[in-house]
Amino acid sequence: MKTTKDTTTAGNGGGDVRLTGISKTYGAFTAVHPLDLTVPEGSFFALLGASGCGKTTTLRMIAGLEEPTSGTVRLGDQDVTALPPYKRPVNTVFQSYALFPHLDIFENVAFGLRRRGIKSVRKQVEEMLDLVQLGEQARKKPHQLSGGQQQRVAVARALINHPRVLLLDEPLGALDLKLRRQMQLELKRIQTEVGITFVHVTHDQEEAMTMADTVAVMNAGRVEQLGSPTDLYENPRTTFVANFLGTSNLIEAEVDSKSGDEIVLKAGGGKLVLPGARTSAPTATGGKVLVGVRPEKISLTHADDAGEIPEGRNRITGRIVDSSFIGVSTQFVVDSPACSDFEVYVQNIDRDTRLVPGTEVVLHWNPAHTFGLDAAQSPLAGTVGSAGVETVEEEVAR
């Protein structure tokens, strides 16, 4: 049987997934623009983006459930673009798990093995069920299990086939927050244990950052930026990435002068320093740049104590508009001439009780934490509905 051969030769071809110029259009709508992407073997790779950004379509093209309009899909050295899903050494964990309701857990997990003509499945299935801690539930039907257990069955059912790549389509979307956290760690543990390449699709930036080695942020059918979670968070190259991954304060500024590696900018009547290495935008004198800084990098000082702020820090004056206490930190919204809703997260170590709405304050941060973005983009990209429910794309995918 061909499928058996494909899977057993997994060792020599490598598990790299290489997408070359892959795209998908539905009539006039382009779900995925021509895209090149390489997922290295054994890595935990996340495709992150909002609803309808094309991430699920990309995943489905790797699985073979969607035929690309152009481009090729390669697994290691093998071009699988023309192979139907049942001949690809790839398995998927579906968003709604798609467990077979008429089969018990054991048979669900054994399904792939049986289809490949393997007769004695008992030992393998039992081992797999133990790996996902469901040994006791083998003879139950899927609907008798909780959401978290069903999710683990879906993972076991895919993993038992030792695919070269495991595709996960929003696998944790249906779980509540606490269970989702637990499953994130669980999946990470399983991935480390089996060493299979995981490609994970999610709209949850925290999930992507917790689990993945590499994250590709997708927006409107394109990969906006690709990198490690830290790299994406610290050095976003577009406003979409800056806003979609966490929160960024973006200030429109004008380039005033350059001195060595430092760029001095004018914003809201003040001066800000931006390290030249931390901007991808053109920085001709007089040109516009979007200056960004993460809310947790900023310190907040009462205007009366402004003199205590050390020299050399970027500073902006403003007035507190809103504050919310959330335990580990307090989140402030500050109105300043440079930016009307500046977000600042202050850790609750020594709380300054004077910092209530209406107070005049000085925001200041280490210039090294400043990043620059091309001002031609909308500073609001990626802010609205970023954590929305996966609906638009699903409709299209059908």
Partner 1 sequence: MTTVTEAPPLAPAPERKPPRRRGRWTPYLLLLPGLLWLVVFFALPVIYQASTSVQTGSLEEGYEVTWHFATYWDALSAYWPQFIRSVLYAASATVLCLLLGYPLAYLIAFRAGRWRNLIMILVIAPFFTSFLIRTLAWKTILADGGPVVGALDALHVLDVTNLLGWTAGDRVLATPLAVVCGLTYNFLPFMILPLYTSLERIDPRLHEAANDLYARPSTTFRRVTFPLSMPGVVSGTLLTFIPATGDYINADLLGSTDTRMVGNVIQTQFLRILDYPTAAALSFLLMAAILFMVTFYIRKSGTEDLV
Q: Which two tokens stand for residue 390?
A: 């996966």
* Position 327 contacts partner 1 (CB under 8 A): no
94 or 345, CB closer to partner 1? 94
37-56: which residues touch partner 1 (CB under 8 A)? Answer: none
Instruction: Compute the least distance from the CB of residue 69 to partner 1, in Å.
Output: 19
Q: Does 351 bind partner 1 (CB under 8 A)?
A: no
Rounded Cα distance between 287 and 373, Å, is 12
Spatial separation of the C-alpha atoms in residues 384 and 382, rounded to whole Å:
6
Window 148 to 207, contacts with partner 1 (CB under 8 A): 157-158, 161
8-state DSSP, 310 = P
Of the two residues 159 and 242, which places its CB atom closer to partner 1 in the complex?
159
Q: Quick one: how far is CA 247 from the chain centroid?
A: 14
Q: Are 357 and 322 spatial neighbours (Cβ–Cβ below 8 Å)?
A: yes
**Among 343, 253, 247, CA closest to 300:** 343
Site for partner 1 in 58-117 (CB under 8 A): 63-65, 84-87, 90-92, 94-96, 98-102, 111-112, 115-116
**Residues in 2-21 that interact with partner 1 by CB under 8 A:** 3
* Contact positions with partner 1 (CB under 8 A) in 226-265: none
Residue whose CB is less far from partner 1, 86 or 385: 86
Query: 281-310: which residues touch partner 1 (CB under 8 A)?
Result: none
CB atoms within 10 A of CB 64: 20
Residue with Cβ nearer partner 1 (59 or 215): 59
Estimate the crossing angle of helix 105-115 against helix 122-131, to 10 degrees: 130
Tokens 């400043």, residue located = 370
Which residues face 3 on adjacent strands? none
Its sign, for the CA torsion 266, 384, 387, 64, is: negative
Q: Which residues form the interface with partner 1 (CB under 8 A)?
A: 3, 63-65, 84-87, 90-92, 94-96, 98-102, 111-112, 115-116, 141, 143, 157-158, 161, 398
